[in-house]
Structure 1
Amino acid sequence: MHRAALLLALLATPAAAFAQAPAGEHEIQVVNRTGQDAVALHAVRDGRANWGQNTLPRPMPTGKAFTLRTRAQAGCRFDIRMVMADRREAVLRDRDICAQPRVVVEASDLRAAPSQPAPGTPNPRARISSGTGFVVGTDRVLTNQHVVGGCDRIFVRTADGRMLPAVPPAKVDAALDLALLAVPGNPGEVLPFRRAPEVRRGEGVIAYGFPLPGLLSSDPKLTRGEVNGLAGLGNNASHYQISAEVQPGNSGGPLLDLHGHVVGVVVSKLHAQNIAKRIGDIPQNVNFAVKGDAAQAFLQRAGLAPQAEASRGEEMSAADAGEIANRGTVFIRCER
């Protein structure tokens, strides 16, 4: 999920011996012997699903070489890809750049480029992570920043099964771990925030989202719990502590009261194993959500006026609150 940092050292030069890389770096020299210009060159850690950025600042003629450096922490195993002017490409997998730092690309290595997904459609070959989001305005979806950070492309799956691409850039608040996505095409109904009264300890809440994708079924899941505390880990005043169970994939989903109004954004759970190592006991069901007030303030800073309603009168069932949540909650697909 992390890109190997590539440090450009020498532009297109005649294929020849090259200087030793500085300590802490590996050096790769890629030679073009294909008979035509190369327009793109990629070098990434072996097995990565995405090729990252093109390292060539200009086309590289045949008979020339390009030298780049990688940090030693990235290891020795790299995949190399060279794209030619006629769109054919050479892909050389699992090259040990420590043992053989000079990579020669021959005409016999060239193949037709694989077909690409149509614009605006998911790439089945991409590396995928996922999370949850919910609609907070016309064509606007709120989620966690960590759900969408580092994504090359983002898609949301709506309650009626449509897959819509998000339009970058997202507006983010890293401190709150929130991100606002622009998703044209009507991703769902707007979920209103709770305007009043103040949230109290012991209030019933539901978390709604898509936990453990690929393991559990693809439909959204509802878990019920309570607001346990009015501050988060380390007295974080922007968080609630909640007992509604959450799992990986719930991040960014709505936390609703039993009037169907958003009181928070699910953000994290306490890592039970790490805490057990520190205190000798396993914490039970300790989870956190960004407070609705903090989320609304972020949306206002991002130029969006969130809808808000008072939670008055008789509470509804968790099932009925879940029906409301379902109309505005989306699955988020991050491609890298």
Structure 2
Amino acid sequence: MRLIPLLPALLIGLAAGAALGQGKPGPAPAFPPLPTQKPPALAAAPVPAAPGKPGAPAPTPPGGSGRTLSTGTGFVVAPGRALTNHHVIEGCLAVRYRNAAGTEGAARVVTSDREVDLALLELPAEAGPPLPFRREANLRRGEGVLTYGFPLAGLLSSGPTLTTGEISALAGLGDNQRQFQISAPVQPGNSGGPLLDMSGNVVGVIVSKLNAQRIAQRTGDIPQNVNFAVKHTEALAFLRANRVEPRLVDRAQPRAADEVGETVHPSVLFLRCMG
């Protein structure tokens, strides 16, 4: 049984819409869905691009109606630069950010890559301190991880949410080698947020979750805590291709989740896609 054509319909992107967390439509799927199915937001099934090459620069145009189309998360990776998902900023007439201090401002899309689903933003240098990336390329199954972001904005807490879990698998849906499977709970709005090890170092970028309803329809069983993140090695390659050198650190002694959350809090951004 060939599974690949079914994969896009089994994923849900995590950019939250303005109305009760409904995601805006994601990029076109890499493989067609079943003829009788209408695919949901497909954040993790982007349109194919040239392997290893970032997409063409997509500067954010000014203007827009001032209406929030969807929301997501980003995080500072270098002075004046932040990372998020491509599907968070796709189709936006403008992108707005709010940092931990409550300061709001405009972010400019420098470039994005649909295939890996990452986007680079330009924003004021004082928006927040850059988060370090873990130098070690390989993570292990069962290793503890933490997410920090803004799920279901307008429905849940207006502040950031922290969740914990483990690396479940070293590849994503359909053996996607660019992603990790994680058990840490995520919701629409977590898209583009950092996946952190228990030392507070970036090891991935939250991107999508399994569509539990579709899986239940196919198997009769409801999957639990099957979520995905772009690997930090992919994020580093994307940033370096765009002349951004994040700080790399070695794996350190694990800390309590609350300590990690307090450390990364100033660096995580609430993003709004404006139409």
User: TM tier, shorter chain?
Assistant: 0.7 to 0.9
2:15 — aligned with what? none
- Cα deviation for residue 184 of structure 1 reads 2.2
Distance 1:128 1:332 in 2: 11
Per the normalisation by structure 1, the TM-score is 0.62
Give a deviation string over 1:10-31, Cα, whole Å, max 9, x none.
xxxxxxxxxxxxxxxxxxxxxx
- Cα deviation for residue 125 of structure 1 reads 4.7
Confirm or deny that 1:321 pairs with 2:257: no
1:147 — aligned with what? 88
Confirm or deny that 1:253 pairs with 2:193: yes
Query: Which ranges in structure 1 are unaligned for 5 or more consecutive residues?
Result: 1-120
Which of the pair has the greater relative contact order for Cα pairs under 8 Å at 6+ separation?
2
Instruction: Name the SS for the 1:196 alignment partner.
Output: coil
Q: Which amino acid aligns with 1:242?
A: I
Instruction: Name the SS for the 1:300 alignment partner.
Output: helix
Whether the 8 Å CA contact 2:68–2:272 is kept in 1: the answer is no
Give a deviation string over 1:230-272, Cα, whole Å, max 9, x none.
0000000000000000000000000100111000000000010
2:41 — aligned with what? none
1:1-336 aligned at under 5 Å gives the runs 125-167=66-108, 169-196=109-136, 198-312=138-252, 314-336=253-275
Whether the 8 Å CA contact 2:165–2:182 is kept in 1: the answer is yes
- Cα deviation for residue 206 of structure 1 reads 0.3
Distance 1:203 1:151 in 2: 36
- Cα deviation for residue 128 of structure 1 reads 2.7
Q: Which has the larger radius of gyration?
A: 1
Distance 1:210 1:125 in 2: 20
State the identity %: 52
Instruction: Name the SS for the 1:146 alignment partner.
Output: helix
- Cα deviation for residue 185 of structure 1 reads 4.5
Instruction: Name the SS for the 1:186 alignment partner.
Output: helix
Whether the 8 Å CA contact 2:205–2:229 is kept in 1: the answer is yes
Whether the 8 Å CA contact 1:266–1:289 is kept in 2: the answer is yes
1:12 — aligned with what? none
- Cα deviation for residue 212 of structure 1 reads 0.5
Q: Which amino acid aligns with 2:274?
A: E
Distance 1:255 1:192 in 2: 12
Whether the 8 Å CA contact 1:197–1:311 is kept in 2: the answer is no
Give a deviation string over 1:165-185, Cα, whole Å, max 9, x none.
012x43111111000011124
- Cα deviation for residue 197 of structure 1 reads 6.3
Distance 2:187 2:199 in 1: 24
Give a deviation string over 1:74-97, Cα, whole Å, max 9, x none.
xxxxxxxxxxxxxxxxxxxxxxxx
Query: Which ranges in structure 2 are unaligned for 5 or more consecutive residues?
Result: 1-61
Higher strand proportion (structure 1 or 2):
1
- Cα deviation for residue 198 of structure 1 reads 2.3
Distance 2:262 2:65 in 1: 31
Q: Which amino acid aligns with 2:112?
A: V
Instruction: Name the SS for the 2:83 alignment partner.
Output: strand
Instruction: Name the SS for the 1:246 alignment partner.
Output: coil
Instruction: Name the SS for the 2:92 alignment partner.
Output: coil
Q: Which amino acid aligns with 1:139?
A: G
Higher helix proportion (structure 1 or 2):
2
Give a deviation string over 1:137-186, Cα, whole Å, max 9, x none.
1110100000000000101101100001012x431111110000111242
Distance 1:156 1:267 in 2: 18
Distance 1:218 1:129 in 2: 14
Whether the 8 Å CA contact 2:147–2:194 is kept in 1: the answer is yes
Whether the 8 Å CA contact 1:122–1:155 is kept in 2: the answer is no
Q: Which amino acid aligns with 1:162?
A: T
| Count of aligned residue pairs for this structure pair | 215
RMSD: 1.8
- Cα deviation for residue 305 of structure 1 reads 1.0
Distance 1:191 1:185 in 2: 13
Per the normalisation by structure 2, the TM-score is 0.75
